[in-house]
Chain A
Amino acid sequence: MRGSIARRLALMFALAAILITSTSAVLLRCSLKQSLETQMHNELTLRHSVLDPLLAKYESPAMWVVVHEKLDSLTPTDERVRYWVLSDNADYSYGGAMPDGLDRSKHADGFSIMEVPDQHCPMVLLSKTIPAMGSRPELRFIVGLDSTPFMGTLSTFTKTLILTSALGIALAALLGYWVSRFGLEPVRRLSNQANSLPPGDSKQRLDTEALPDELQELAVSFNGALARQEKAWCQLEGFNANVAHELRTPLTNLIGQTQVALAHERDLSELQDLLQSNLEELERMGTIVNDMLFLAGAESGQRATELSDVSLCEEASKTVEYLEPVLLDKQLNVVIQGDMRVRIDRRLFHRSLANLLQNAARYAAPASTITVSLVSNGLQAEVSVSNVGEPIDSVHLEHLFERFYRADAARARSDAHHGLGLSIVRAVASMHGGRVFARSAEGLNTFGFSLTSETLR
């Protein structure tokens, strides 16, 4: 059932048909029953209106014989209609005992139902009181009408009704199935189209022109997903090229200097120096690979997990202390402003703040002050590092957090660091549900990131 929309729709059509036909069938039957009853009542009333004056007219028991004869002649042989006259005086009585044995002489006037033994359908009775006149006492005159023919009509009608309803329901279900299959044809066409998208060609999209409105939306979102995939794919390819390129330099150094060293006899200390230098290159490559893996993890949506409650100022001081030699080299002074307690991964915080500080120290004017400011901004903690330095073109600002992006290729190359520092800051921010920002104004360059902490919520 879960699998097919056509079958579901057919079932719903059938259910709707059942509801509609059964309601109307019940209503029809009720209305027929009512009009049949009215018809019976009318006939009884008619007979009374003809006979009542006759009964009222005759007085003496002698005259009453005429009444008996009249009633006899009016009673049909199949006893479809019967008459009773009830009286204490046997001379006036007619019709014998009531078939169900009830004494109706004391009952009120009006319609009633009488079950007749050995007969399937009851009789409908109309009793009336004929007032006393002269020597004749008060009488009770009852006309009975057998309901069998009326009930027969009703049951035939009911049977026909049930049959028609069942047929109608079946037809509605069938029709519903066919209609929905027909209506869902565009869906089938769309899925065929999607199936025939060629592998490896990320530029292909679904043709949305020929589709009905409802499906167009779906196809457009599907195309959107394809476009995002294509973008991610392109990024990945660029990423691979970046890594290969980045590893090429240390590899060239390693191969070259090892070859040069092996070309001639070298003394021990020279070889030791070579190995030391090789080790440094190798460690650099190791760092690049590990950083790339870290970034890949963050980009695939990994979140920080080793959370602890920390004071940002305390952790920032530790980080500054760790970088002291770099800062002392350029006689830089670091000021930390603000503080707050947050729940974050402190190791990741150290790392990203250190990257920002090293970046600031690299470009800061000698003997200037670097400011680390810790600001609470609604749900987020904002960490930023400002240094006095040459203004950065806004063209570069937005790209600086991208992997391997360098505003000034020649200058950055001379450093031992690779171009991943700021993108690691961005990864750490995203692992904490935050973002990165960069500003350059009034001789101050500010780079920062935000962190969403549970305790700030």
Chain B
Amino acid sequence: MRLLIVEDEEKTSSYVHRGLSELGYIVDVARNGIDGLHCALEMDYDVVVLDVMLPGKDGYGVLQGLRLQKKTPVIMLSARGTVDDRVRGLREGADDYLGKPFSFAELVARIQALIRRRASDTADLTHLCIDDLEMDLQARKVTRAGLRLDLTAKEFSLLSLLARHQGEILSKLMIAEQVWDMNFDSDANVVEVAIKRVRAKVDAPYARKLLHTVRGMGYVLESREESGRQGSSAG
């Protein structure tokens, strides 16, 4: 997966570059609108992350230039999160829009969503399988190593959300939105509590852990190699 980041703010582009590279993406960075448009036209990227305020040529200009030739998915970033900016960005062909300040986890989630949308392999899965964990979404049945797990409705929808996005980091806010239909953070940490409960049922009795916490970002359900990034699975 190859990504292009067009951002003149050095700190922003540097941590985004580093964070995405560490997640396994190949990341190019352009520091102004003109270079950005050039790169986006020359190379085939899976997603372009485009800041609105850029020297040389602003984000809307880059987007227009790009849309004349290509349909590469674009996420726009802007410090001016007004509704008008958002509407303008989306109208001129951006696929998503993120207002600053944004969390890195949120950006990753949106990039993954765009890549997934493009792959369009969204055939409705009813049966999911991660390592020895199996989920039947229709029968609402979960088994691990052949043993049936007893989950509450909320626990089931949480686990199935993670399973449908296996390997992707889901932020707390995204989980709250999908499972509880709430789009704000609260003191309650209901997501943490629910994750703890699911973990107690799904992971605790087994040696191989599947549900991992990514500090400061969220949670991921995946089968990790013993030698892999196990350091971060605490907590």
Q: Does A110 contact B (CB under 8 A)?
A: no
The count of residues in chain A whose C-beta lies closer than 8 Å to any C-beta of chain B is: 25
Verify B180–A326 contact, CB threshold 8 A.
no
Chain B, residues 21-61, CB within 8 Å of chain A (1/0): the string is 00000000000000000000000000000000000000000
Q: Does A79 contact B (CB under 8 A)?
A: no
Collect the chain A residues with CB atoms within 8 Å of residue B183's CB: 347, 350-351
The 8 Å CB contact of B81, one of A272, A293, A347, A350, is A293
The 8 Å CB contact of A279, one of B81, B154, B216, is B216
Q: Which of B117-125, B130-138, B188-196 lies at the interface?
A: B188-196
Residue of A at shortest CB range from B181? A318
With A272-B215, A279-B216, A289-B101 as given contacts, are A351 and B187 in contact (CB-CB < 8 Å)? no
Q: Does B103 contact A (CB under 8 A)?
A: yes
Task: Give the CA-CA distance A318 to B183 in the complex, in Å.
Answer: 12
The 8 Å CB contact of A354, one of B101, B186, B189, B215, is B186
Task: Give the CA-CA distance A283 to B173 in the complex, in Å.
Answer: 12
Collect the chain A residues with CB atoms within 8 Å of residue B188's CB: 322-326, 358
Chain A, residues 311-349, CB within 8 Å of chain B (1/0): the string is 000000011011111100000000000000000000100
Collect the chain A residues with CB atoms within 8 Å of residue B154's CB: 321
Q: Does B129 contact A (CB under 8 A)?
A: no
Collect the chain B residues with CB atoms within 8 Å of residue A272's CB: 215
Collect the chain A residues with CB atoms within 8 Å of residue B216's CB: 275-276, 279
Verify B190–A318 contact, CB threshold 8 A.
no
Verify A323–B185 contact, CB threshold 8 A.
no
Q: Does B107 contact A (CB under 8 A)?
A: no
Collect the chain A residues with CB atoms within 8 Å of residue B101's CB: 286, 289-290
Verify A358–B186 contact, CB threshold 8 A.
yes
Interface residues of B in 63-105 (CB under 8 A from A): 81, 101, 103
Verify B186–A323 contact, CB threshold 8 A.
yes
Collect the chain A residues with CB atoms within 8 Å of residue B103's CB: 283, 286
Verify A326–B184 contact, CB threshold 8 A.
no
Chain A, residues 202-243, CB within 8 Å of chain B (1/0): the string is 000000000000000000000000000000000000000000
Interface residues of A in 82-129 (CB under 8 A from B): none
Q: Does A75 contact B (CB under 8 A)?
A: no
Q: Does A416 contact B (CB under 8 A)?
A: yes
Interface residues of B in 158-186 (CB under 8 A from A): 176, 180-186
Collect the chain B residues with CB atoms within 8 Å of residue A326's CB: 186-188
Q: How close is B22's CB to chain A, nearest CB, in angstroms?
A: 15
The contact sample of 6 A-B pairs, CB cut-off 8 A, is A286-B101, A321-B190, A322-B186, A324-B188, A325-B193, A358-B187
Residues of chain A whose beta carbon lies under 8 Å from any beta carbon of chain B: 272, 275-276, 279, 283, 286-287, 289-290, 293, 318-319, 321-326, 347, 350-351, 354, 358, 416-417
Beyond contacts A325-B189, A417-B187: 18 other A-B pairs, Cβ-Cβ < 8 A, are A272-B215, A276-B216, A286-B103, A289-B101, A319-B182, A321-B154, A322-B190, A323-B188, A324-B188, A325-B190, A325-B193, A347-B184, A350-B182, A350-B183, A354-B184, A354-B186, A358-B186, A358-B187
